[in-house]
């Protein structure tokens, strides 16, 4: 029973890590996409995407905090 629970907890941590990496990759992709654009086009897209990017950043930070807490629980 305990071994099964440990496997489940590790699987959850792996899923959280994967989600963090996916969000981070998406945010980096957006920045790489926007960088070469003309300033006018870039500013318009930033205005349009800004709220979504901010939500993604907050989600990433929340997942990182959850992962850190799970790691602390594992170590204690």
- pTM to 2 decimal places: 0.86
Residue recorded with tokens 């890590």: 17
Q: Provide CB contacts within 8 A for 60, sequence distance 6+.
A: 20, 23, 24, 27
Among candidate residues 64, 73, 63, the one with its CA nearest the CA of residue 10: 73
Residue 23 has pLDDT above 90, yes or no: yes
- pLDDT tens per residue across span 30-46: 999 999 999 999 999 99
Residue 51 has pLDDT above 90, yes or no: yes
C-alpha atoms less than 13 angstroms from C-alpha of 35 in its C-beta half-sphere: 7
């Amino acid at each position: 029973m305990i071994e099964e629970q440990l496997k489940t907890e590790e699987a959850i941590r792996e899923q959280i890590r994967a989600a963090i990496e996916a969000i981070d990759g998406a945010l980096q992709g957006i920045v790489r996409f926007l960088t070469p654009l003309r300033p006018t086009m870039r500013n318009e897209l930033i205005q349009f995407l800004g709220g979504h990017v901010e939500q993604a950043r907050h989600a990433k930070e929340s997942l990182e905090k959850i992962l850190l807490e799970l790691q602390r629980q594992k170590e204690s």
